Homo-oligomer: A and B are copies of this chain.
Amino acid sequence: MNFPFEKRFPSELNRDHDYYMSHAYNQALLAWEKDEVPIGAVIVHEGGIIASAFNQTRSTNDPSAHAEMLAISQASNSLGDWRLNNCILYVTKEPCPMCAGALVVARIQKVYFGLSDTKMGCLGGATHLGQLPESNHKFEAVGGILEKENHALLNAFFEKKRAEKKNRSAEDPTL
């Protein structure tokens, strides 16, 4: 299968949700290029993108190297402060339990994500860690930004993976 997705070029004149999510989406494309599950994230501070990262769990053999965790780390370094109170995260898929928890600890202001994950998503899907009743830091999370595009990208990646596995099994029936 040829790579069927194109980089997005959002207008610099219109810094809306599509603009920021397009940058997160482009990060996800970079993940695919490295054979990583294509999830990307950016963190925005005062309108500017201060962190951009994609999932790198496979290449680093580190399950914590999710796009969000890497972006949080970059943003903290960039601001010289681990508190991201005035920062907004855009991520192509609803964050997992670890990343959602890290966003609470990092005191993120708000999160926008692409597709929801009712199974493992922890900002509204399976549960909402940004809304724990007695938490000392609560925040809102809004899904559905570039949802179709983000969904298509992830689906195509897993289809490719299944096809590769099938091909390997055909070559070696012991697999």
Contacts and interface: CB of A to CB of B under 8 A. Distances in A.
Nearest to A107: B63
Interface stretch (A1-9, A28-36, A94-102, A163-171): A94-102
Interface in A66-110: 69, 72-73, 76, 82, 96-102, 104-106
Contact of A127 (B99, B118, B120, B132): B132
Interface of A: 61-64, 69, 72-73, 76, 82, 96-102, 104-106, 118-120, 122, 126-127, 129, 132-136
Contact of A97 (B61, B64, B100): B100
Total copies of the chain: 2
Contacts of A120: 132, 134-136
A97 to B, nearest CB: 3
B134 A119 contact: yes
Nearest to A118: B134
A162 B103 CA distance: 27
Given A61-B82, A97-B105, A119-B132, 4 more contacts: A97-B132, A101-B101, A101-B102, A119-B135
